[in-house]
Structure 1
Amino acid sequence: MLSYDELSPPERELWDAFPEGRCVDLRTGAPADERVDEGGQWGPGRTVRAAVLAALLQGAHTAQPGSVTCLRLAGARVTGHLNLAGAQIGHALRIEDCWFEEGVDLSEASTRSIAIVGSRVPGLEAGLARIEGRLDLRRSRLESSAPSPFHRRVTAFSLINAHVSGAVVLNGAEITAPGEWAVSAGGLVAEGGVYCEDGFVAHGEVRLMGARLPGGLHMRNALLARPGRTGVALRLDNAEGSTLDFSGGFTANRTVRLRGARVTDGLTFAGAVLNGPSGGHGPSVEAALMQAVDFDFTLARPPSGLVDLRGAQVSYLHDSDRSWPEVVELDGFVYGAVKAAGTGGAGERREAGERRESVARRVAWIRRSPGYNPQPYEQLASWYRSAGHDDEARRVLLAKQRHRRRTLPPAARVWGHLLDATVGYGYRPWLAGVWLLALTLLGTLSFGAATPRPVKPGEGAPFRPLVYTLDLLIPIGGLGQRAAWYWTDGGLQWLAYLLIALGWVLTTAVVAGVTRTLQKN
């Protein structure tokens, strides 16, 4: 137990100020003396032992009646290990511009709000901690410490399974654990959200698997540099949050993993830079099975690695020409509506032209997915139909059939080309009408250049080439020409057989097209 006589002058000042919640500021005011990085050189007049801080926070000095106790210290060199593991702390802690010789251990502690602002700390362990209030680490520098009993990896900042009733604030902070875990916060519950904005930098992997963030995760203008050995910059597998904000210049130099994450409001990468693994090997974003209401993927430039959205579900998708890399995994990706940045227009003609361009862009987007998967085409066509654009939906389904054709055996590919050229796989029935007109002209000219023989001389109507051709092409009913005349010329007789066969195929396509038009919603 510490005695008052053992305390140094700055420690006595802190001891006396604690019951009244007064701040002890040891800063000199000279800019040359206030560089926290050089705090290890500060002398005895600015040195406070960590044991003194721990003793005060655990009740070594009682409060005066009517006062609110709070440990407030600024500009100090804190020596020794600040060990508060398992402590029950009923006082707020506010540290500003201090230099810590060793790390801070809050594992399994129960405490009120903690603020360590603008300070240098060689590691902060707060696994299983319960914090009634905020955890504020703005502008601080946290560096990796030795592995804790809770995990084997070196971690600069640990919040594993911690519960924070307020917000975790890391704005402007720099957390360094190159090749390891900069932040390890699996299972964290932060009711007020996690804020890593205003120049936040992490050297090492940021891990928030299974975190519950009702207040969201905010990483505007954050930099995730030099991640861990796994090649993952940010890991949010199975996390839940109201908002995930990676906008405003957010930069990740390796993979951002959102596998199974659930976002009740918005997930945005507006203006973000996703560099992905070096050499383009591996994903820039891995968001398989992710769920979100609003998904804004309007990046500053295309990602360098692939984007994996397999099985993801979003209500609204926003993208642009800079959103997608060369490879996009889209199998099972479901969206309710999609909006490309910069689209929209005035007038029906301009709108129709934009829709045609949209189909071409969307089909090219789907073609970036490796292999052939029908679901992305069906999903896109379903969206166009729900928007009342049946023509665009048919274009998408036609593109699906053309893509599928590449996977078929040679004979099936030949048949597919024939169906495509004649009736557009049934999605362009007007082609059948064009073919019928062309075949009618061919038959009329060919049959008009020769004279057939009557089946029964002297009976029936005179030969009419146009009527005879139509009688061959129209499979239903009859015009009295086909049965009344035959050809001795073998070539013309085979032409007649061919027109009969094509008439069946093309007339069926026309009927199907008319039926589809009449049934349009």
Structure 2
Amino acid sequence: MFFATRMTVGMEGCSRRASTQADRAKSISWKTAVKADGLCTGNNLFMQDAVIAGTGKFDEVRLPDSQIGGQFGLERATITNPTGPALDADGLRADNGLFMEDATITGAGELGAIRLIGAHIGGQAVLPVSKLGNSSGPLLVPNDAQIAGAFVFPPAVVCSASREGMSRLGCPDSNRTIKAHGLTYPSLSAISWRQRLHLLAHHTPTYWPQPFQQLAATEHAAGHDNNAREILITQQHDLRRRTPHALGNRLAQWRHAPWGSLGRYGYRAHRLVTALAVVRALGSGLSLLAGHVTTHPDHHAAERVQPTTAKLDTPGTPCSPVELIGLGIDRGLPLGTTGIRTHCDFDITTGWGQTFTAARWGLQALLWSLATLAIAAYTCLVRKPS
């Protein structure tokens, strides 16, 4: 008997079922571990107000591969283990939910204070614990866990100030970490998407793409597409910050940064359109300036094209402002021309004319590059999935 006479549970696989309406361990104190590997009960399992203290590496509440047909409740429980996990529930199956309101759980070590690896929670997972601590490892490890209902996890459980988003300055509480690779849930509660994003960016020991994508999928399913895009943008920022080698060689890493600044990795394609408009305006302004720069008497860097029969000392004819602006547009068109250059163009026989022409080539190359990126972004060809 590992609990107390008030608890009746099947201990040998699922060959026996609990005969009571709900299995309870309430207001009871143990000074040794609760070991119930493979426990199986068709009813609820409550350990409300229980006080459990372990003293060894595996002296904790152990429920790996257990099956609970109802709810598993640790409300107001106090579980402490200074040398190992406090709750080991890897592979746990709780068909009607997991509840830890106002619990105090303190563990130690790299295995984590609360372990829920591969767990399946049929209802809600409600984890608003009053205190969760680990002096030398992660607080919560729900890798590959599946939650069928809402995931209720207040940010203050990990980050005392409930901070939001990703910060270049980091987080003062970044030593309080969680691991959540493979965790799936349909919705979040008691935490905003920005607070959850902060936990992923600053309170996970290593970068994993799946938690970001899971959060983005949750926001997308709720109809918040803009939030989902912001999450995926932050994912790319975190990828470059923590695992730049995953992007490839130095050239690929260098491209990643300006691509993020210009187009937000394809998730903010309208920024590329704005950049296109700015470069287009610069091109027109450059041509307009060239029409007012004197190269030699009676000639400008951009002017009317003279007939082939004109003499060398024939004075040049200035282009109108509209023609000069049209020249800038014509020079920047990726495909086709407006025909303006047949009667107004840069005079490449002069130094200033060659300088303006070279500058225009540079703007034209940039314009074409931005146009290509904009098309790729709108067609989702360059969004990074990982």
TM beyond 0.5: yes
Q: Which residue of 2 aligns with 1:187?
A: 38
In structure 2, the partner of 1:92 is none
User: 2:315 is matched with which residue?
Assistant: none
Within 5 A, what are the aligned runs for 1:430-441?
A: 430-441=270-281
**Compared CA separation, residues 390 and 187, structure 1 to 2 (3 A):** closer
Match of 1:294 in 2: 149
User: Residue 274 of structure 1: CA displacement?
Assistant: 1.4
Output aligned runs, 1:288-437, within 5 Å: 288-299=143-154, 301-303=156-158, 326-341=176-191, 358=193, 360-368=194-202, 369-406=204-241, 407=244, 408=247, 409-437=249-277
The Cα RMSD (Å) is: 3.7
TM-score, structure 2 as length reference: 0.71
How big is each residue's C-alpha offset from its partner over 1:444-465, in whole Å with a ceiling of 9 and x where there is no partner? Answer: 3332233336666279x95622
The 1-side partners of 2:239 and 2:53 are apart by 45
Higher RCO by CA contacts (8 Å cutoff, separation 6 or greater): 2
- Aligned residue among 54, 70, 74 for 1:215: 70
Sort the Cα spacing of 1:335 and 1:510 in 2 relative to 1 into closer, same or farther, 3 A: same
Letter paired with 1:186: D
Q: Report the equivalent of 1:446.
A: 286
Task: Measure, in 2, the Cα distance between the counterparts of 1:427 and 1:301.
Answer: 30
Q: Which amino acid aligns with 1:267?
A: A
Query: Structure 1: how far apart are the matches of 2:283 and 2:206?
Result: 43
Taking the TM superposition and a 5 Å limit, the aligned residue runs for 1:19-38 are none
Task: Measure how far apart 1:251 and its partner are.
Answer: 1.2
> Could you tell me which amino acid in structure 1 is paired with residue 236 of structure 2?
Q
Counterpart in the other structure of 2:335: 476
Distance of aligned partners of 1:304 and 1:417 in 2 relative to their CA distance in 1, 3 Å threshold: closer
Which structure is larger by alpha-carbon Rg, 1 or 2? 1
**CA displacement at 1:497 relative to structure 2:** 0.7
- Note closer, same or farther for the CA distance 1:465–1:453 as it changes in structure 2 (3 Å cut): closer
Partner Cα separation in structure 2 for residue 241 and residue 267 of structure 1 = 10
Q: How many residues align?
A: 325
Aligned to 1:71: none
CA apart distance, 1:425:
3.2
Cα distance in 2 between the residues matched to 1:381 and 1:125: 43
Shift of 1:479: 0.9
User: How far has the Cα of 1:295 moved from its partner?
Assistant: 4.5
Q: How far 1:493 moved relative to its partner?
A: 1.3
User: In the alignment, which residue of structure 1 is the partner of 2:368?
Assistant: 504
Asked whether the equivalents of residues 150 and 186 of structure 2 are also in contact (C-alpha less than 8 Å), the reply is: no
CA distance in 1, matches of 2:159, 2:364: 56
List gaps (5 residues or longer) in structure 1: 1-123, 127-133, 139-156, 306-322, 344-357, 517-521
User: 1:466 and 2:325 equivalent?
Assistant: yes
1:425 aligned partner, one-letter code: Y
Superposed counterparts of 1:23-422, under 5 Å: 124=1, 135-136=5-6, 163-166=17-20, 167-177=22-32, 181=33, 183-197=34-48, 199-204=49-54, 205-225=60-80, 227=81, 229=83, 231-254=84-107, 255-276=113-134, 279=135, 281-299=136-154, 301-303=156-158, 326-341=176-191, 358=193, 360-368=194-202, 369-406=204-241, 407=244, 408=247, 409-422=249-262
Distance 2:68 2:189 in 1: 28
Equivalent in the alignment of 1:492:
356
Per the TM alignment, residue 326 of structure 1 is displaced from its structure 2 partner at its CA by 4.0
CA contact (8 A) 2:212 2:232 kept: yes
SS in 2 for 1:265: coil
Q: Secondary structure at the match of 1:475?
A: coil
Q: Which amino acid is the alignment partner of residue 263 of structure 1? A: I
Residue 304 of structure 1 and its aligned partner are, at CA, apart by 8.7
SS of 1:338's equivalent in the other structure is: strand
Hey, which of these two has a bigger chunk of strand by percent?
A: 1
Q: Secondary structure at the match of 1:164?
A: coil
Unaligned runs of 5+ in 2: 55-59, 108-112, 161-172, 294-299, 310-317, 381-386
The answer to whether the 8 A contact 2:284-2:325 is kept is yes
Judging changes above 3 Å, is the alpha-carbon distance between structure 1 residues 432 and 390 closer, same or farther for their aligned structure 2 residues? same
Q: CA deviation at 1:173?
A: 1.2
Please report how far the alpha carbon of residue 218 of structure 1 lies from its aligned counterpart in structure 2 after TM superposition: 2.0
Aligned CA distance change for structure 1 residues 391 and 469 (closer, same or farther; 3 Å): farther
- Closer, same or farther: CA 370–388 of 1 in aligned 2, 3 Å: same
Contact 1:273 1:303 in 2 (8 A): no
- 1:340/1:324 Cα in 2 relative to 1: closer, same or farther (>3 Å)? farther
Measure, in 1, the Cα distance between the counterparts of 2:2 and 2:211: 45
CA deviation after TM superposition for structure 1 residue 233, in Å: 1.7
Asked if structure 2 preserves the Cα contact closer than 8 Å seen for 1:423 and 1:506, the reply is: no
Q: Which residue identity is paired with 1:493?
A: T
Identity %: 23
In structure 2, the CA distance between the partners of 1:266 and 1:437, relative to structure 1 (3 Å rule), is closer
Residue 505 to residue 339, structure 1, CA distance change in 2 (3 Å): farther
Whole-angstrom CA distance in 2 between matches of 1:300 and 1:506: 40
Deviation for aligned residue 1:501: 1.0
Distance in 1 (CA, whole Å) between partners of 2:70 and 2:53 is 25
User: 2:149·2:185 contact (CA, 8 Å) conserved in 1?
Assistant: no
Q: Could you tell me how far apart the structure 2 residues matched to 1:135 and 1:300 are? A: 38
**Corresponding letter in the other structure for 2:219:** Y
Shift of 1:393: 2.9
Q: Does the Cα contact within 8 Å between 2:25 and 2:47 map onto a contact in 1?
A: yes
Q: What is the match of residue 60 of structure 1? A: none
